[in-house]
Chains A and B, each alone.
Chain A
Amino acid sequence: MPAFFPLLQASLPRMTQPLIVAIALVYFAIVAVIATWATRKTKTERDFFVAGAGVGLWTLAIAKMAASLSGFSFVGGPGLVYTIGLAGVFIILPGALSNALGAWVLAKKLRLLGEARGLLTVPAAIGARYRSPAAQGLAAVGILIAVIGYMATNLLALGIVIDAIFGTGLVAGIWIGTGIILAYSVAGGILAGIYTDVFQGSIMALSSLLVVAFALKVGGGLHHISDTIMAADTKFLGPWGSAGPITALSYFFVFSMGSLGQPNVIHKFYMLKDPRQLKWYLLLMSIALLCGQLIYIAIGIAMKALVVSGATAPLAKADQATPTFLLHFAPVVVAGLVFSGVAAAIMATVNSFMNAGAAALTLDIPMALGKKLDNELRWGRITTVILAIIAAGVAQISGTLVAFLGIFGWGMFASTIAPALAIGLNWDGATRAGAIASICSGLVLTLAGGTLAYFKIITLPKGVDVSALSLITSLLVFFIVSWLTRENAPAELDADIKLVMET
């Protein structure tokens, strides 16, 4: 999920109530048991990076949902909806369409390509498609840059949650959280990650559904909530909220089209044991995502109704919408479950990013440089530790820089990967030059534009984000450069890749 509004601003109230602490402890204990079990099964680099390509459909769908939703969906997202109304919902609204897009454009082709070439990473698919180590390496660099920012943002959020539940202090919370995720990510790689994701995703879905029920009950039903808000704020429940149509529709574009470039999510297609199981993938994934995302809308709107009706005081900070609702309007057992769900969402996301970053360092970048590491499993573990320590260090010491790093995470993934991979796997006229040009334009525009916008050297129109501009630019660059170099296309497509594309 996006790092547009990272949890940096969250200063959660203390939740050190015995029942919440107990539920959180049980949650962490179950994660430890699952991770230990899965870790014993991790024997090869294929287990470490693609779970041995032996995952079933239910596992895939729930794990993909868990990796898609970060702590933002549980805390930052409801806060955003509380602040700008329905415009904030446009970040998750494209879910139904973006899942379908991923299914038709990527699911089968990535799965079959992974099988045909024994691929372990997303950049490897780009490298194979264009027979280009350079394109693979550039895509890996984009992933690496984005992963550090994303992980730092999420580790800071996890530190905040652990501090709020256990009263550890923020710095200790960051390092305890990092240590827990590292323990199973290093030992078991994505194999341990994916099975803990299933448990974590189930917690997220259950807690989300419970919160929706309580939000409707506390607000007096949807009709009453609508009437209450509409009487006090004429824009909040309008289709574009208080942010306007450009903001809402720009979110819609970035988070639908950009979903094709999220390596932590699309990478999981490699892991499915039987590609024919994809038949019911879209239905299961849609249900899982719908369950997990309802909390995002429900709390933001319910808190707005409660505030305008005078049932509770206005929030000092938007990110306090979720904790305030849970601590004051939901049973403590539900609060405990949801806070465990927040930790689950963050941990599932960080694990996937750790693995994607480690794969980029261990597999893709050496491949681009014409080298192959001797023991990829061992190097995968070492680079996982290094990346986690860097990200946790950034989260601890860099203050607002972590928000800056997180801001372009989604945009970097989208603009560097989506055009070359998603269109390239469906168009045999796409060329290596088009892929490299689009990846480079995504890298440069996101980094340079993000930096200039963050330091207010350039000002963009209201609602327009650097991520959106870099995504649309890299998509168009991909088409135009491929068209200009179209005579090279046939020679750049290997017969086995063409076979997969045509199947």
Chain B
Amino acid sequence: MLKSAVLSLVFLFLAVVAAGYTGSFFDATWAPWCLAIGTCGALMSMMALGAIRRGKIAPVLRWVFAGMFLFCAGCFCVALAIPPNEGAGGPLLFNFPLRSTIVLLGVAIVPILVMPFAWALTFDSSMLSEDDLVRLREAQTEMARANMGSK
């Protein structure tokens, strides 16, 4: 059920990206918004798809993926919404133009600070524990034996 929902989200966000590219052929003003929201959504929903184990996603990862989608897409949307002001004397944030800093924070700096730790801290419980590996190898050995026996 959860996997079907996440797969639907992946497809939906990819369709939004496709809509963005279609809109670019007509110079549609909404095309960049579709690309921004669709790409961020597709990335995060695919990560969520990869994180599903036995029909569940670790609760902390749900928050990470949903939060990172809102943050990344939000930063893009803010940069698209704020009028350009990168001329002489324009506003700076961390010594760099405001809108550009928002984008850099949103899709590069914050993700690089969050994602590796979300991955590492949930790895044992949600990705591959020592027990998982032992069980997998035992099951594979059993299957190989059964296959040999059937031949």
A residues apposed to B, CB below 8 Å = 86, 93-101, 103-106, 108-109, 112, 116, 221-223, 226-227, 230-231, 234-239, 245-246, 249-250, 252-253, 256-257, 275-276, 278-283, 286, 290, 422-423, 426-427, 429, 461, 463-464, 468-469, 472-473, 475-476, 479, 495-496, 499-500, 502-503
CA distance A495 to B150 in the complex (A): 15
Residues of B within 8 A of A97 (CB): 43, 72, 107, 111, 115
Contact indicator A226/B96 (Cβ below 8 Å): yes
Residues of B within 8 A of A101 (CB): 43, 46-47, 50
Contact indicator A116/B140 (Cβ below 8 Å): yes
For chain B residues 70-109, which have a beta carbon within 8 Å of chain A? 72, 76, 79-80, 84, 86-90, 92, 94-97, 99-100, 102-104, 107-109
Contact indicator A479/B123 (Cβ below 8 Å): no
Residues of A within 8 A of B94 (CB): 222
CA distance A108 to B132 in the complex (A): 12
Residues of B within 8 A of A105 (CB): 46-47, 49-50
Contact indicator B36/A286 (Cβ below 8 Å): no
Minimum distance in angstroms from B134 CB to a CB of chain A? 11
Q: A249-B36, A276-B133, A423-B10 are in contact. Are A234 and B100 (CB under 8 A)?
A: no
Minimum distance in angstroms from A490 CB to a CB of chain B? 15
Category for how many chain B residues contact A? 35 or more
Residues of A within 8 A of B32 (CB): 245-246, 249
Instruction: Among A281, A461, A500, point to the contact of B136 (Cβ < 8 A).
Output: A500
CA distance A238 to B83 in the complex (A): 11
Instruction: Among A100, A234, A250, point to the contact of B87 (Cβ < 8 A).
Output: A234
Minimum distance in angstroms from A112 CB to a CB of chain B? 7
Contact indicator B124/A279 (Cβ below 8 Å): yes
Name the residue on B nearest A116 (C-beta).
B140
Candidate in B17, B25, B79, B104 with the most chain A CB atoms within 10 angstroms: B17
Q: A101-B46, A278-B128 are in contact. Are A223 and B10 (CB under 8 A)?
A: no
Residues of B within 8 A of A96 (CB): 107-109, 111-112, 115
For chain B residues 130-150, which have a beta carbon within 8 Å of chain A? 130, 132-133, 135-136, 139-140, 143
CA distance A253 to B47 in the complex (A): 15
Known: A104-B119, A231-B87, A496-B143. 8 other contacts (CB 8 A): A93-B108, A100-B111, A222-B94, A239-B99, A256-B43, A275-B133, A476-B18, A500-B136
Minimum distance in angstroms from B101 CB to a CB of chain A? 9
B residues apposed to A, CB below 8 Å = 3, 7, 10-11, 14-15, 17-18, 20-21, 24-25, 27, 31-32, 35-36, 38-39, 42-43, 46-47, 49-54, 72, 76, 79-80, 84, 86-90, 92, 94-97, 99-100, 102-104, 107-109, 111-112, 115-117, 119-120, 123-124, 127-128, 130, 132-133, 135-136, 139-140, 143
Minimum distance in angstroms from A462 CB to a CB of chain B? 8
CA distance A115 to B33 in the complex (A): 42
Name the residue on A nearest B112 (C-beta).
A96
Contact indicator B143/A495 (Cβ below 8 Å): yes
Contact indicator A104/B50 (Cβ below 8 Å): yes
Residues of A within 8 A of B130 (CB): 276
CA distance A274 to B23 in the complex (A): 46
Q: A239-B102, A463-B24 are in contact. Are A234 and B50 (CB under 8 A)?
A: no
Name the residue on A nearest B117 (C-beta).
A283
Instruction: Among B39, B53, B108, point to the contact of A253 (Cβ < 8 A).
Output: B39
Minimum distance in angstroms from B147 CB to a CB of chain A? 9
CA distance A46 to B80 in the complex (A): 50
CA distance A286 to B86 in the complex (A): 30
